[in-house]
A and B are shown apart, each in its own frame.
Chain A
Amino acid sequence: MNSEEILRAFLTDDLIIEKGHLKKEEAENYKWFSHSNNKLIEVIKMAIEGETSSESPNVTEKKINKLLNQQ
């Protein structure tokens, strides 16, 4: 599975659809480089990116925290 396939696996989760982050079709056709202002999607992308690039989990967590701490 490449990063985009992993991302789609996350985005097609029922919770994403139920909470209205994406519609089902949008999730199924989501591209890695699709632009989004949704923080949950961004967090997921950052986690996948960190994992696939063998980044240290601490670094990934810091990046995510930084994203979510923006006021």
Chain B
Amino acid sequence: MLLTSIELNNFMCYSGMDNRFDFTEGINVIIGDNGYGKSKLYDGFYWVMYDKCFDTSIKTFSYTSKLKKAIISDKAIFDIEEGKITASVILTFHNPEKRDVVILERRYSIKKDGDKIIEDEKSEEIVSKKDLEFMNARIEKDPYEIERIKRYILPDNVKPYMWFQGEQVESIIDFNKSETLTDAINVLSNISKFDNIIKIADELEASSEKEYDKKRRDLSKDTNKSEQLSIDKEKLEKKIKELEKEEMQLRDSSSTAEEKADSKLNKLEEAQTIRRLDQRRKDLEKRLGEVQAEFDKEQINLHKKLFTNRWVLKGTEALFGEYNQKYEKYISSKLQKKALANAKFEATNELRKKLQTRLPLDVPEPIHINRMLEEEKCLVCDREAPKGSEAWLKIKELLYTTEDDNSKIEEEVKTNFDFESEFKKLYQNGLGLGHIIKNIDNDIQNTFLRKEEIESKRRTILEEFEKIEKELRSLTAQSAMTSTEAFDILNGYTVLNEQVKRFATQIANQTHLINNKKKELDQINKDLSSLVVGEIPKYLEEKRTVLNEFYQVAHSTRKRVFQKLVKMLEEEANKHYQNMIQRNLSARGIIKLKELTNGKNYMPELVDENGNVLHQLNTGNIILIKLATIMAIISARKASRDTDLYTLITDAPMSVFGDDYTLGFCKTVSQVYKQSIIMSKEFYRNETLRRELLENEEIRLGKVYMITPTIPETDRTNRKSLATNIKALN
């Protein structure tokens, strides 16, 4: 059925009663930036069908009974003082062949009385039908019929492939759920018919075998033995079934492990690079720490060396010379002074000798001289010598000795502060340091060279460190994988590979066991036949053969048809993939649907022209592959009643893969789906792209609308006047 319109009345940001979008066949596009009401429009479709809307606070779909007044436009609630406010969404479907019309409506009301708001518990669903488009609609009351109509519009098993939001694409074909693609093929292809025929073939084969055995027992020459053999056979068959079931479980587990390993393999190269870079980063960090410590030490030493290596003396060579001169002058002046004093001393002594005529030196002794001076009388000649007289002064002269003269002379030579020894030390030190000063320049130069060397090493390491940091940041952003996750992937991959190997051994053992049991079964059948006396009816022999062959043909045909379907899907998927990537020159690869170990599940992967798997896929690539695969499943059934009946409704499916793919995606969607409704921000932001959408003849275009809010996103704190403008662009 074609979805011809949606009307939104006071529903969320669609305030008022005139919000209507009409749709036609082809791709219908609703253009709007983030926060402009695209997702609320998607909610509108979803709400009518499932009584649920996306609850952004808990990131899941919630029932009206939980959302309540959040369903109703804030503006509508604010605008009315008192009374009932109702939000409603109406979807109109039209079947052009039968010319009948189905109208689905959902309503939700609240009552407002000033500040008080009374919320209804539930929403109301109204389904009306027009048997012919021009007739009046009649409301359908029968709940079973309502359910039937809704399932007719969109069956539950088809819904995930027809109605989805951008972020749900990942989970539609989940690489970690091995049966997802197979399930999709089952739902959207008629392989289930072959599955049903297999069930009939299995039943018939088992019952004919039983019938045949019974006949063999009836015709047995040894009934007891035949009975026992039949019991053994039954047990053996049961055992074989159990073993086969176990084998299948092992194969399933192996497939899951293989598939998980494959999905990790996709990121393995990136993970390895991240790990390598991370390790290098850590090494460099350590090295940088060491070099920094070395540098710091050198810096401290540089200051110390001013004193330890006597750098502080640099430039003092002249001072040393000057000091030496002064010292020499000082010493020479001192020696000269001393020589003069000595000469004076000698001369005084000489003079004294001459003057000393009557008495020898120190005669009389000073004690007697002092007595004579006191008594003012010469005790030698016994004459009076009054104080101050010539005789008294002569006596007094005798008190002056040579020592006194020497002391006087020494006193003359001596100065008050004698620094000779210190000056000498300084002189001697100066001689030693003078030798060191010559080497200071070399020492400073070597030290600075060493410092420069360390600095250069530090810079090089730092540059490499920053380069690796940048590379790591870009890689982790591109792969959406942290260093820890990269480690987990590598470890996980190793573990999964080991699991696959272990499963392979277990499967081989199990197969061997089953084959042995089958041989035992063959022997029992032979034994049973050998006991038969007479002839088994021909029709029974024939029936057994026919049904056994039917059983084999049914199984091998199903497998063949499924493989053919997979091959066809692969071709279709590649057609769509190539269409979508045609405007992006860097995109490459061919989609391959890889069969897993259990022989029943398939996973999409991207290979190059030589069949080598391409592992460096980003999220955009992966989603394109998934979308191409989904489209292949749909287009493989193109023109069949099923897929033409349903409308693709998707919110922001292109948000993850960039502008280059947008038109390719629209073109492909318009060719694959009879009708689609796409919500997109890409055409809002890129005007050229929008023009191309409206003019590109390869795109089977339906209606195009632009939606804008009445209040800019920045002023959205007060939503009481928020409404949405709808403008048709074609």
CB within 8 Å of B: which residues of A?
A: 1, 6, 9-10, 13-16, 19, 39-40, 43-44, 47-48, 50-52, 57, 60-61, 64-65, 68-71
Tell me, rounded to whole Å, the shortest Cβ–Cβ distance linking B552 to chain A: 6
Interchain CB contact under 8 A, A1 and B190: yes
B522-565 near A? 1/0 per residue, CB < 8 Å: 00000000000000011100110011011011101100110000
Residues of B within 8 A of A44 (CB): 550, 553
Tell me if A15 and B200 are in contact (CB < 8 A).
no
Which residues of B are found within 8 Å of A6, using beta-carbon distances?
193-194
Q: How far is the CA of A10 from the CA of B550 in the complex (A)?
A: 9
Bound Cα distance from A40 to B205, whole angstroms: 13
B399 within 8 A of A: no
Instruction: Give every chain B residue within 8 A of A13 (Cβ-Cβ).
Output: 553, 556-557, 560
By a CB distance below 8 angstroms, the chain B residues around A16 are 553
For the complex, give the distance between the alpha carbons of A44 and B555 in Å. 12
Chain B 199-216 per-residue mask, 1 if CB under 8 angstroms from chain A, else 0: 111011001100000000
Q: Give chain A nearest CB distance to B424 CB in angstroms.
A: 120
Interface status of B153 (Cβ within 8 A of chain A): no
Kindly supply a per-residue 1/0 record for chain B positions 163-207, scoring 1 wherever the CB is within 8 Å of any chain A CB and 0 otherwise.
000000000000000000000000000100110110111011001
Residue from the list B200, B550, B557 in contact with A50, Cβ < 8 A: B200
Known: A10-B553, A47-B201, A64-B200. 9 other contacts (CB 8 A): A6-B193, A6-B194, A15-B553, A40-B550, A40-B553, A43-B204, A60-B200, A68-B208, A68-B546
A and B contact pairs by CB, cutoff 8 A, 26 listed? A15-B549, A16-B553, A39-B546, A40-B546, A40-B550, A40-B553, A43-B204, A43-B546, A43-B550, A47-B197, A47-B201, A47-B554, A51-B193, A51-B196, A51-B197, A51-B200, A60-B200, A61-B204, A61-B207, A64-B204, A68-B208, A68-B539, A68-B542, A68-B543, A69-B543, A71-B539
Closest chain B residue, CB of each to CB of A19: B549
Q: Which residues of B contact A64 (CB under 8 A)?
A: 200, 204, 547
Residues of B within 8 A of A52 (CB): 193
Residues of B within 8 A of A1 (CB): 190, 193
Q: Please report whether the interface of chain A is mostly helix, strand, loop or mixed according to DSSP.
A: helix
Q: Which residue in B197, B537, B546 is a CB contact (below 8 Å) of A71?
A: B537
Report the separation of the CA atoms of residues A17 and B208 in the bound assembly, to the nearest whole angstrom. Answer: 23
Range for the number of chain B residues in contact with chain A: 20 to 34
Inter-chain contact A39/B204, CB cutoff 8 Å: no
The CA-CA distance from A13 to B554 in the complex, in Å, is 9
Q: How many angstroms from the CA of A39 to the CA of B546 in the assembled complex?
A: 7
A61 adjacent to B203 (CB under 8 Å): yes
| A contact residues around B539 at 8 Å (CB) | 68-71
Chain B's closest residue to A60 (CB) is: B200
User: What distance in Å separates the Cβ of B563 from its nearest Cβ neighbour in chain A?
Assistant: 12
Report how far A61 CA is from B196 CA in the complex, Å. 12
- Majority secondary structure, B binding face: helix
* A58 nearest CB neighbor, chain B only: B203
- Give CA–CA (A64, B211) in the complex, Å: 14
Report the minimal beta-carbon distance from B50 to chain A, rounded to whole angstroms: 28
Contact of B542 among A10, A15, A39, A51 (CB under 8 A): A39
Residues on B with C-beta less than 8 A from A40 are 546, 549-550, 553
- The 0/1 profile, CB within 8 Å of A marked 1, for residues 121-136 of chain B is 0000000000000000
B550 CB to closest chain A CB, in angstroms?
5
How far is the CB of A8 from the nearest CB of chain B, in Å?
10
Residue of A nearest to B545 (CB): A40
Complex interface: chain B residues within 8 A of A47 (CB): 197, 200-201, 550, 554
**Nearest B residue (CB) for A2:** B190
Q: How far is the CA of A62 from the CA of B445 in the complex (A)?
A: 107
Residues in B neighbouring A43, C-beta threshold 8 A: 204, 546-547, 550
| CA distance in complex: A70, B553 (Å) | 22
Residue pair A57, B200 in contact (C-beta under 8 Å): yes
Q: How far is the CA of A65 from the CA of B207 in the complex (A)?
A: 10
Given contacts A19-B549, A43-B550, A44-B550, contact A9 B557 (CB under 8 A): yes
Q: Give the shortest distance, in Å, between A57 (CB) and chain B (any CB).
A: 5
Which of A9, A60, A70 has most chain B Cβ within 10 Å?
Answer: A9
Contacts of B561 in A (CB 8 A): 9
* Complex CA–CA separation, A57 to B561 (angstroms): 21
Whether the Cβ atoms of A10 and B537 lie closer than 8 Å is no
Residue ID in chain A nearest B197 by CB atoms? A47
A22 to B: closest C-beta gap in Å: 11
Among A39, A48, A52, the most chain B Cβ lie within 10 Å of the Cβ of A39
Which residues of the partner chain B approach A69 to less than 8 Å between Cβ atoms?
A: 539, 543
Q: Nearest-CB distance from B358 to chain A (Å)?
A: 167
Binary A-proximity of B389-416 (CB < 8 A = 1, otherwise 0): 0000000000000000000000000000
Complex Cα spacing A16 to B550, Å: 9
Q: Is the CB of B200 within 8 A of A61?
A: yes
CA distance A51 to B547 in the complex (A): 17
Closest chain-A Cβ to B195's Cβ sits at a distance in Å of 10
Report the Cα distance A47→B543, complex, angstroms: 15
Q: Hey, which chain A residues are within 8 Å of B542, CB to CB?
A: 39, 68
Nearest CB of B to A19, in Å? 7
B residues 633-660 in Cβ contact with A at 8 Å:
none
In the complex, A39→B539 CA distance in Å? 11
Query: How far is A51 from B537 in the complex, measured between Cα atoms in Å?
Result: 30
Residue on B nearest A10 in the bound complex, by CB: B557
CB-based nearest A residue for B196: A51
In order of increasing CB-CB distance, the 7 nearest A-B pairs are A68-B543, A71-B539, A47-B197, A10-B557, A13-B553, A39-B546, A51-B196
Give the most central of B196, B199, B554: most A CB within 10 Å: B196
**Docked complex Cα distance between A51 and B556 (Å):** 18
Q: Which residues of A contact B556 (CB under 8 A)?
A: 13-15
Given A68-B539, A68-B546: A57 and B196 interface contact (C-beta under 8 Å): yes
A16 to B190, alpha carbons, bound, how many Å?
22
Complex Cα spacing A44 to B190, Å: 17
Residues of A within 8 A of B197 (CB): 47-48, 51
